[in-house]
Amino acid sequence: MLRGMAGTDPAPVTLVVGDEELLAERAVGEIVAAARAADPSAEMHDLLGGKVTTGELAQMTSPSLFGDRSVVVIRSAHDLPKDVITEIVAYAKQPSDDTVLVLAHPGGVKGKALVDGVKKAGAKVITISKVTKAGERLEFVKAEFRRAGRKVSGDAAQALLDAVGNDLRDLAAACSQLAFDTEDKTISAAAVARYHKGRAEVTGFNVADSAVEGRLAEALEQVRWALGTGVSPVLLVSALANGLRSLAKVAGAPRNLRGPQLAGQLGMPPWKADRVKRQLNGWGPEGLSRAIQAVATADEQVKGGGADPAYALEHAIQVIVSSRTGR
């Protein structure tokens, strides 16, 4: 899934390529953490490709009078303007010793000049492979428990996949929750069953769909039933976050894309892209931003920052529904 992962000494320029969002974010995070560990006082710049202007990179990477180091992360690098791509490729040929530059590109044709240019310039490349096979997802689950210092039996890993589904964020959240709440060194199928019974009847995705489509009573009823039958609050929050991220992706896609083209640009199955596009009706940028912030707050609360996970979830759902008009 990850090839060419950064070590403890980050390269001056690193290109992270791939559209498996969770793994790409982790790759970027590890590079940033290594850079900050080497110099805790390093100045951090975290930018979106579409917002970077001509000359901005030169400003952020120019030597400081005080010898300060900097870390520059450019996400969604496929959205960089052509002039900025030219600047970055030229910079990658002779990077500053005082800067760690990380470029995150989802792959694909858009912005390919950046990928080809920085590769040719000698940048370090981390390739994120899409997780598509059942065996790869099983290995992902096992690796998540290893990250937490635990083990999981083969039947438990499969049971978790059956209960949670294929989304890596949901799987990561489920593994984290089980590792936190289960004392046994090896996670068993029985432990998975305790936490995920009832998920086949009401899933986090049902709750998320009801919330983003404005069906408040239905969403609240579903979330209460799910919590009452053992579905983890972490998984429910993760599903809400995924639903809103999908809305944001579609909202930010070029307006001229339709059907398979839109699905390919977003890395979604066509049926999901069509569904999310319908769900986007009634949403505005301010309302979407407010809803995403509410879910981020709920995520913190269900992971220990609040006393009542059920209240945190219900409040987040109420904010999502009230934000849907874009007010």
DSSP annotation string for 210-265:
HHHTT-HHHHHHHHHHHHHTT--HHHHHHHHHHHHHHHHHHHHS-TT--HHHHHHH
Rounded CA separation 11/31 (Å): 9
**pLDDT(5) > 70:** no
In a 13 Å sphere around the CA of 82, the CA atoms on its Cβ side amount to 0
Q: What is residue 6's predicted lDDT score, i.e. its pLDDT?
A: 42
Structure tokens at 53: 């202007």
Q: Please check whether residue 260 is in contact with residue 269, taking contact to mean a CB–CB distance below 8 angstroms.
A: no
What are the start-end ranges of the E strands in 110-230? 124-128, 151-152, 186-187
Checking phi first, is residue 230 left (phi over 0); if not, alpha (psi -120 to 50) or beta? left
Distant-in-sequence, close-in-space partners of 263: CB < 8 Å, separation ≥ 6: 269, 270, 272, 273, 274
Rounded mean pLDDT, 127-153: 91
Rounded mean pLDDT, 256-265: 70
Q: Please check whether residue 165 is in contact with residue 199, taking contact to mean a CB–CB distance below 8 angstroms.
A: no
Q: Please check whether residue 290 is in contact with residue 315, taking contact to mean a CB–CB distance below 8 angstroms.
A: no
**pLDDT(296) > 50:** yes
Q: Which of 88, 27, 24 is nearest to 56 (CA)?
A: 88
Q: Which class for 294: exposed (0-12), middle (13-18), buried (19 or more C-beta within 10 A)?
A: buried
Confidence of residue 199 (pLDDT cuts 50, 70, 90): very low
Chain mean position to CA 126: 17
**pLDDT(327) > 60:** no
Q: What is residue 166's predicted lDDT score, i.e. its pLDDT?
A: 79
CA-based Rg of the chain, rounded to a whole angstrom? 21
Q: What is residue 316's predicted lDDT score, i.e. its pLDDT?
A: 94
Give me the torsion for CA of 114, 53, 72, 62, rounded to 10°: 110
Structure tokens at 118: 């920085």
**pTM above 0.75?**
no
Question: Picking from 111-115, 187-191, 194-198, 223-227, which range would have the lowest pLDDT averaged per residue?
Answer: 194-198
**pLDDT(196) > 80:** no
The pLDDT mean for the chain works out to: 85
Q: What is residue 180's predicted lDDT score, i.e. its pLDDT?
A: 79
Amino acid symbol at 277? K
Q: What is residue 304's predicted lDDT score, i.e. its pLDDT?
A: 73
Rounded CA separation 248/287 (Å): 11
**pLDDT(2) > 50:** no
